[in-house]
Structure 1
Amino acid sequence: MTESQGSLSVRSAWRDVPPMQVRRFAALALDEVPALAQDILRQIRSEYPGLPVVLDDSGEPMALIGIRRALEGFVQQIASADGGRPCYPLEVFQEFGRGEGLHGRSLDSLQAIYRLGVRLAWRRLAEIGQQIEIPPPAMYELAESGFEYLDGLVDQSVRGYAEAAARQAGERLRLQRKLMELLLSERRGDPGAGTPADFGHGSGAHSAPGQPGARSALDERAARVGWQLPERVAVGVLLRPAREAVAPAVGQGVLLDMETEQPRMVVPDPDAAGRPELLRRAMAGWSGAIGPPVPLADAAKSLRWAQAAVRLMERGLLPSGEVLYCTEHTEALVLLQPEELIEDLARRCLAPLAHCGPAHGRRLAETLLAWLETRGGAPEVAARLGVHPQTVRYRLRQIRELWGDEVDDPDRRFELELVLRARRLRGQLGRAG
């Protein structure tokens, strides 16, 4: 019917109506606009009593202004010589859409209100058309043009709605990042670094923050994003599978900050039933680490362990290609993190191997570790290493010659096992069969 949205085509029944009759129709319609706008608003309020009333600076309802301007724009359009371009009251209807978005409502109710307004307006326009004897085919085209005009108004509201939704989403993310910054701040809790002995344990649901008022600030920020403060949390650090990777769908309860090079997340109540499985599904395609569950005030400790695990993953010392849990890799995190201290201890403990040659020294080290772990005789050690018992006896004699009585001292045995396990974790020793 139309050559462009909202305008009547040149070849149409409406264009065959004499100009004088069109002008008469437009004049009568414009005279009716104020009262018609009031009637439409009154009917809308009757059918949608919960609709908020927003006033402009002069105290007039914004909805009434929008209805009046929409009616005037449509009448002016149909009265123009060439059908005109739709004359939408842009800001008013964009503001209606923004209002729906800001109040958390969908656009369905707003569109229903628009359709109600169009039906009421059409009844009055049809009466005017009959009054001045405009042919029915022309009025049918006018009705179709009215619904096209309605589509334009809806488009403006959708645009305002989208703008409001984007602003709200951006504001929520900003507030969420602020909440995470406070939650993960080292100054909030005990300045101690924490150890894997803390994994799965804590001193209470809410340890005293490190600074006065920190707890109330946390309450305030959590309330602003609608996040209920949990008793325990686990903090994750992620490695992006690609630079433009879409954020994982971790759910609303999980705080997620995608703005950092390595995204972070705070998982509330990580031990809750089904939580690990839900996270595994949500994190498919991602890799990273989730720190141990800790009391809320100790969230920074969980973050540190997750960061340490990610560093080991990047070095190839922990499995990559998945999101792992620090509590499942405690040995590696304990023995591989304080690298300088472990290496210094290894140099002192393993000094007797310095003159054995690399290959033979490695075999002796593997035999010593197997013996320390089994506390058994040659047959048990041989079975663990997959070699002949006589070979083990020979190596054990060499070990006793190299270390002497030190291998009988419990403290020395502990240090030897510790440094040898660390070397095995680094791939410097073979794993027992």
Structure 2
Amino acid sequence: MTHPAWREVPQAQVDRFAAIALAEAGELAQAILGAIRHEYPHVKLVEDESGEPMALVGIRRAIEGFVHNLASGSGKPRVPPEVFQEFGRGEGMHGRSLDSLQAIYRLGVRLAWRRFAEIGQQVDIAAPAMYELAESGFEYLDGLVEQSVRGYAEAAARQASERLRLQRQLIDLLLVEHHGDPVGTLAERAARIGWQLPQSIAVGVLLRPAREAMAPAVGQGILLDMESEHPRVVIPEPDTAGRSEMLHRATTGWSGAIGPPVPLAAAAKSLRWAETAVRLIESELLPGGEVLRCTERTEELVLLPSEELIDAVARRCLAPLDGTSAVQSRRLAETLLAWIETAGGAPEVAHRLGIHPQTARYRLRQIRELWGDVIEDPDRRFEMLLVLRAQRLRGERADRVDRAEAL
């Protein structure tokens, strides 16, 4: 004890006080437990290995610890940590708050103080010293609460860690190729984390803006796996009103892609499109700095990953340009693409390219001379359309890189 009035109490009186209090510790603990059961009948008491309620053990140890400390005069009362940390862990594991536990502690301290006051009178300890004893009791209460808070925090962290582990297991199961109906297996895993299986799903892949980047606050119901090299996000019912805007806000500053909505069993297909888009972002063929939607980047996702195939087709279907200069080849290629896209004549092509109609007519005549009747074949025109659009996309990417380097 650190209070002056208590230090002035003769040791003989302190020893008599301690002897009586320790002799009654078990009986007092039983009385306090009975009052707790009466005041808080909903509280479930956990028993230890001997079958004795842990609460009774904790109350008795708390009383004995306080009294021993009181008798020795060793300063601030030391709280026995194990039992009270376990109380806090129990509240955390069952999803309850610490409010009722703190109320129980206050009840116990009040009842203990009532009996200690009677013992103080019995051994003639002066009132100022007993007031200081009461203050020490409330300090002790703070220590009990502190130990329970530690246990509670430990349980909460353990539960959060376990939920993340189960969530990653569910994500892994969702994203494998399924043959047949996977709902039964998925439902069992989803139930462990309270996740309701959706009808449709979209899968996103993210690129970290920094190694220690905070996880995006994607909101309830959306699964997030931050342990992967590229974090994965699973979005149930992606077409739900407001979900797109919420994800956009949550992923501000991140790069990545969200695959197309698919049925639950086809989640792996949505993942593949998102991974394809992320590879294009890493190759600077798609812009970074935002989370793209694959459904809004269809042309790039279809044409850009097929570079080798497109180049092989280009060597064949654009072979007539081999004998032209680089400038002439570029102009004729853009004119050919404009003609295929507009399905019109020289005026439409001229308007699209911003050139004079006479220039467009001259280029179109050159095209007909170079390709001949092949240009009228719908299948060949479609091939040319794919090749020329792919080249245009690559050219736009090259222009972006040149501008960035110039800055």
TM-score range relative to shorter protein: over 0.9
Aligned to 1:122: 113
Match among 342, 353, 363 for residue 321 of structure 2 = 353
- Residue by residue over 1:192-240, the C-alpha shift from the partner in whole angstroms, topping out at 9 and shown as x without a partner, is xxxxxxxxxxxxxxxx34xxxx443212111111111111100000010
Q: CA deviation at 1:339?
A: 2.1
Partner of 1:137: 128
Unaligned runs of 5+ in 2: 400-407
How far apart are 1:43 and its partner, in Å?
Answer: 1.3
Contact 2:70 2:77 in 1 (8 A): no
Is the Cα–Cα contact under 8 Å of residues 111 and 154 in structure 1 kept in the other structure? yes
Counterparts of 1:243 and 1:99, CA distance in 2: 35
The gaps in structure 1 that reach 5 residues or longer are 1-7, 190-207
Matched, 1:325 2:311: no
Distance in 1 separating the partners of 2:115 and 2:219: 50
Report the 3-state secondary structure (helix = DSSP H, G, I; strand = E; otherwise coil) of the residue aligned with 1:339: helix
**Structure 2 residue matching 1:427: 3-state secondary structure:** helix
Note closer, same or farther for the CA distance 1:428–1:399 as it changes in structure 2 (3 Å cut).
farther
Once the two structures are TM-superposed, the CA of residue 428 in structure 1 deviates from its matched residue by 6.0
Correspondence for 1:405: 373
Matched, 1:46 2:38: yes
User: Is contact 1:237-1:288 (8 Å) kept?
Assistant: yes
Matches within 5 A, 1:310-321: 310-321=278-289
> How far does the alpha carbon of each residue in 1:21-61 deviate from its partner, in whole angstroms, 9 at most, with x for none?
11111111112211211111111122221111211111100
> What is residue 147 of structure 2 aligned with on the other side?
156
- CA-CA distance at 1:68 after TM superposition: 0.5
Kindly tell me the number of residue pairs found equivalent between the two proteins. Answer: 399
User: What is the DSSP-based 3-state SS (H/G/I as helix, E as strand, rest coil) of the residue aligned with 1:271?
Assistant: coil
CA distance in 2, matches of 1:338, 1:43: 76
2:25 to 33, 36, 42: 33
* Preserved CA contact (<8 Å) 1:74 1:87: yes
Contact 1:230/1:269 (CA < 8 Å) preserved in 2?
yes
Aligned equivalent of 2:252, options 284, 289, 294: 284
* Selected match of 1:221 from 189, 209, 218: 189
Aligned counterparts of 2:234 and 2:362: Cα–Cα separation in 1:
54
CA 136–148 in structure 1, closer or farther in 2 if over 3 Å, else same: same
Q: 1:254 aligns with which of 203, 207, 222?
A: 222
SS at match of 1:247: coil
Paired residues of 2:255 and 2:289 also in contact (CA < 8 A): yes
- Deviation of 1:337 (Å): 2.0
What percentage of residue pairs aligned between the two structures are identical? 72
Task: Please tell me whether the aligned partners of residues 285 and 397 of structure 2 are also in contact (alpha carbons under 8 angstroms).
Answer: no
Per-residue CA deviations over 1:129-178 (Å, capped at 9, x if unaligned) read 12222111111111111111111111211111111111111111111111
- Paired residue for 2:404? none
Question: How do 1:26-425 and structure 2 match up within 5 A?
Answer: 26-80=18-72, 82-84=73-75, 86-186=77-177, 188-189=178-179, 208-209=180-181, 214-425=182-393
Q: TM-score, normalised by structure 2?
A: 0.95
2:25 aligned partner, one-letter code: V
Contact 1:382 1:392 in 2 (8 A): yes
- The 3-state SS of whatever aligns with 2:351 is helix
SS in structure 2 of the partner of residue 338 of structure 1: helix
Alpha-carbon separation, structure 2, partners of 1:147 and 1:18: 23
Judge conservation of contact 2:207–2:256 (CA < 8 Å) in 1.
yes
* Aligned-partner residue type, residue 64 of structure 2: E
2: distance between equivalents of 1:429 and 1:109?
Answer: 62
Match of 2:332, SS state, is: helix
CA distance 1:400–1:85, change in 2 (3 Å): same
Output the CA distance in 1 between the equivalents of 2:396 and 2:368: 22
CA drift of 1:318 comes to 1.6
Q: TM-score, normalised by structure 1?
A: 0.89
CA root-mean-square deviation: 1.6
